[in-house]
């Protein structure tokens, strides 16, 4: 009798494992995406001479909020040598990170020039979407509030597109792809920065403008080749 129960349990466990593998394999078939993940800031020339910063942000993360202004200042200071691509990583312990990230993907698809103004709006107003502030609200209520708020940022003509976008499986998949891309790069905290493919230290903490200057000055100055050794801590 006990042996029979053990066999049944083993069969159920095996079936569960096979189901998980099947689902993961099915999800993996959505990858790689048709285009590279991320939002390019401005209209920079991205080529072999550009210094590429990849920033991983959560739109309702306070540290991401604090990290963006000094990075933006550095980008403007060193233009056109610096290019920035922002990847969205909706952290699972931020209840409204996924729907906020999804709204950004929808707007980027509708009007790419509105993507970063909307990201900055989320940074400025993120407190209204913190866990404590929305604890007693349903997911539908939060989503409706985001649609109405985003409409005020990007224009009333986009209201119906935003509503339908939140019910579109494609925008859900785009947001998931961003999450999976972050995971594939080993990113687990926001903000996280990569410089020309190498991760910078102190993930999860914002870097001020002087911190960026210490990083960029050796790379963009006339003595860049001599100062490469100063960046050995990245390797």
* Domain 39-220 fold: Glutaredoxin (3.40.30)
Domain ranges in the chain are: 39-220
pLDDT at 11: 46
Average pLDDT over residues 103-118: 97
How many whole angstroms separate alpha carbon 218 and alpha carbon 75?
15
Residue with more model confidence, 231 or 120: 120
User: Lowest-pLDDT range, 44-53, 119-128, 143-152?
Assistant: 44-53
CB 118 within 8 A of CB 154: yes
User: Lowest-pLDDT range, 87-96, 142-151, 196-205?
Assistant: 196-205
How many whole angstroms separate alpha carbon 210 and alpha carbon 214?
6
Q: Is the dihedral of CA 147, 174, 110, 117 positive or negative?
A: positive
pLDDT tier, 21 (very low <50, low <70, confident <90, very high otherwise): very low
pLDDT at 12: 38
User: Lowest-pLDDT range, 11-25, 77-91, 106-120?
Assistant: 11-25
How many whole angstroms separate alpha carbon 158 and alpha carbon 118?
13
Does the global pTM surpass 0.75? yes
CB 110 within 8 A of CB 205: no
3-state secondary structure of 229: helix
């Amino acid at each position: 009798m006990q042996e029979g129960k053990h066999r049944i349990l083993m069969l159920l466990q095996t079936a569960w494992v096979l189901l998980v593998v099947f689902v993961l394999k099915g999800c993996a078939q959505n990858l790689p995406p048709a285009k590279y993940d991320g939002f390019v800031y401005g209209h920079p020339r991205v080529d072999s001479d550009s210094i590429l910063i990849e920033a991983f942000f959560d739109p309702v993360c306070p540290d991401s909020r604090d990290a963006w202004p000094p990075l933006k200042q550095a980008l403007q200071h060193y233009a056109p040598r610096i290019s920035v691509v922002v990847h969205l990583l909706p952290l699972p312990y931020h209840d409204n990170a996924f729907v906020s990230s999804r709204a950004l993907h929808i707007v980027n698809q509708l009007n790419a020039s509105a993507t970063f103004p909307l990201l900055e709006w989320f940074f400025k107003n993120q407190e209204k979407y913190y866990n404590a502030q929305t604890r007693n609200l349903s997911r539908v209520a939060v989503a409706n509030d985001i649609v109405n708020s985003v409409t005020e940022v990007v224009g009333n003509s986009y209201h119906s597109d935003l509503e339908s976008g939140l019910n579109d499986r494609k925008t859900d998949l785009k947001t998931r792809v961003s999450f999976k891309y972050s995971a594939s790069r080993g990113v687990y905290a926001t903000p996280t920065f990569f410089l020309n493919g190498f991760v910078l230290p102190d993930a999860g903490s914002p870097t001020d403008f002087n911190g960026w200057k210490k990083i960029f000055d050796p790379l963009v100055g006339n003595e860049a080749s001599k100062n490469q050794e100063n960046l050995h801590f990245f390797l």
